[in-house]
């Protein structure tokens, strides 16, 4: 019996970048800070999701999860004006064990709230300037955040593999 030859499929998936294009809400500086911060978090044993919708309806810049189930949120600030204009970061604390701000070395540490961690970053890496105080979240919140994290990660991978099959499910 002759083996059936499958026609070559014209797949647009071959042309899809492994990293989704920026959604244009973030400045180039913010994207660079996010990249360097994600590298730091990976070195600490965390995986990250950017722009994760929270149960409160807000969207966190970076959410990090490690194998122990710890959840950290990192709010990215690209300028003094960005920090001054942002009043929503207080709401993130209810969804994480530790809350950080990440920013470039051009910004002074003194302008950030003292009860948060500080990460200084650029596009190539980051370092933790100040550890964030721990405030353990409730088990139900941890489960909810972990499920959101997993669902967002899986959906983003599925979009890369089958973009046409997920056209109706953009976040």
Distance of CA 85 to the CA centre of its chain: 21
Token pair 């997920």 in the structure block, residue: 166
Whole-angstrom distance, CA of residue 166 vs CA of residue 54: 21
Q: How far apart are CA 114 and CA 88, in angstroms?
A: 16
| Mean pLDDT computed over 97-111 | 95
pTM: 0.82
92, containing H or E segment = none
Tell me the mean pLDDT in the region 139-148.
96
- State mean pLDDT over 73-95: 91
- Calculate what percentage of the chain has a pLDDT beyond 70: 82
Residues 105-135 pLDDT 10s = 999 999 999 899 999 999 999 999 999 999 9
pLDDT over 80 (residue 5): no
> Residue 6: is its pLDDT beyond 50?
no
3-state percent breakdown (helix, strand, coil) of the chain, nearest 5: 40, 25, 40
Query: pLDDT confidence of 10, banded at 50, 70, 90?
Result: very low
Of 118, 54, 53, which is closest to residue 83 (Cα–Cα)?
Answer: 118
First to last CA, the chain: 48
Return the pLDDT at 159. 86
Per-residue pLDDT tens digits for 32-78:
999 999 999 999 999 999 999 999 899 999 999 999 999 999 999 99
């Amino acid at each position: 019996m002759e083996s059936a030859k499958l026609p070559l499929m014209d797949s647009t998936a071959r042309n899809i970048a492994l990293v989704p294009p920026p959604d244009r809400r973030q400045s180039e500086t913010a994207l660079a800070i996010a990249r360097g911060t994600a590298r730091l978090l990976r070195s600490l044993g965390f995986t990250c999701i950017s722009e994760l919708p929270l149960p409160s309806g807000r969207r966190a810049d970076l959410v990090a999860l490690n194998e122990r189930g710890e959840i950290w949120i990192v709010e990215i600030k690209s300028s003094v004006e960005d920090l001054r204009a942002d009043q929503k970061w207080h709401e993130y604390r209810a969804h994480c064990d530790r809350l950080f701000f990440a920013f470039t070395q051009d910004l002074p540490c003194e302008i950030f709230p003292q009860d948060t961690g500080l990460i200084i970053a650029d596009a190539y890496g980051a370092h933790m300037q100040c550890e964030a105080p721990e405030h353990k979240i409730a088990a139900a919140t941890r489960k909810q955040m972990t499920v959101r994290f997993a669902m967002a990660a899986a959906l983003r991978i599925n979009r890369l593999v089958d973009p046409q099959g997920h056209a109706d499910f953009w976040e």
